[in-house]
Amino acid sequence: MMTNTKTKQSIIIGLLLLAAGIVIFYLCKSGNTRLVKQAVSNTWHFPDTNTLASTPGAELIRYGRELIINTAAYLGPKGIVKHISNGMNCGNCHLEAGTRLNGNCFAMVASAYPKFRNRSGKLESIEYRVNDCMERSLNGKKLDSLSREMKAMVAYIKWLGKDVPKNVRLKGTGIPEVPLLKRAASVDSGGSVYLKNCSRCHGANGWGILKPDSTGYLFPPLYGSNSYNVSAGIFMLSRFAGFVKYNMPFNASQKDPALTDAEAWDVAAFINSQERPGKLFKEDWPDIATKPFDYPFGPYADSFSEQGHKYGPFEIIKKGKKNK
């Protein structure tokens, strides 16, 4: 009796494996090998730029990639197309032209948008989201949604995410979360972390290091008049701490980060405590109850102060939001 049961189990397992093999075979046969890898590993593998030669609209896609990497050369204070941004590049926050995992990559943008976002309280297009970054992270002005530059950036973003199916969450997209501290993030401790780990690239004054021709930055400003403004997403400490922890110093290993969790939170607090453009958008967060736990500007749907929402400790605030 036991032998028969084992035999039946073996047959069932064999049939399941056979069925899985058939599915994978037909997906591969139809040219969806990248999709198969994602379905199995749930990790993004960005498209090979060498394939662009045979891709329709390749020139526009290449231009979009160039705009992400060298935004300032085209749209900065000395830009050859327009003068509508602060001299930083999109690639300063979206590392390796938006392809670096855990570095604000563009993997899921094409599959996720149009997307409703609580910050605006509306359904946003990719063009809307790009202009959000133009106005906030680059402290600049909007691009015409019908301009060649906008079309190029959107074409590049869509090309990067062309094999990503909708409603699938891939590993390494966005910015990883850093465990919350039991205390508030320390500006003073963060200053020491900054001098030790960040100042050699971004300068002792945090204003970055310009290229010799002043068309952009070798290393971007982290604060000062030419940095991101207070409405940028990275002005929220959780996002900055995650970005720093897994990407900085720039040559640090993501598997073995140079900073501890506490150092990441503290240096984020130090950098975001420094002076920068104070541009606010009164239409942000129409439903104040949806503000993130570390959004640093009131009013709030809870009783915690702006100081608490800016530096923490965040655990009690976050728990309060979950319990509502």
Q: Within 13 A of 144's CA, how many CA atoms are on the CB side?
A: 6
CA gap 161, 99 in Å, rounded: 10
Q: Where in the chain is the domain with CATH 1.10.760.10?
A: 49-160, 187-323
Per-residue pLDDT of the chain (324 residues; tens, 9 = 90+): 444 554 555 555 455 544 444 443 443 333 333 433 343 346 788 898 888 888 889 999 999 999 999 999 999 999 999 999 999 999 999 999 999 999 999 999 999 999 999 999 999 999 999 999 999 999 999 999 999 999 999 999 999 999 999 888 888 888 999 999 999 999 999 999 999 999 999 999 999 999 999 999 999 999 999 999 999 999 999 999 999 999 999 877 778 899 999 999 999 999 999 999 999 999 999 999 999 999 999 999 999 999 999 999 999 998 876 666
Distances (CA, A) of 41 to 17, 38, 165: 17, 5, 14
305: CB partners within 8 A, 6+ apart: none
* Alpha carbon distance 271, 194 (integer Å): 8
Kindly report the CATH class assigned to 187-323: mainly alpha
Q: Which of 250, 208, 235 is nearest to 259 (CA)?
A: 250
The structure's pTM equals 0.84
Fold of 49-160: Cytochrome Bc1 Complex; Chain D, domain 2 (1.10.760)
What the block records as the tokens of 49 is: 């730029």
pLDDT value of residue 171: 86
Q: Which long-range contacts (CB under 8 A, 24 or more apart) does 172-175 make?
A: 172/43, 172/44, 172/101, 172/102, 172/105, 172/107, 173/44, 173/101, 173/105, 173/107, 173/108, 174/104, 174/105, 174/108, 175/102, 175/104, 175/239, 175/242, 175/243, 175/246
Distance CA 58, CA 135 (A): 28
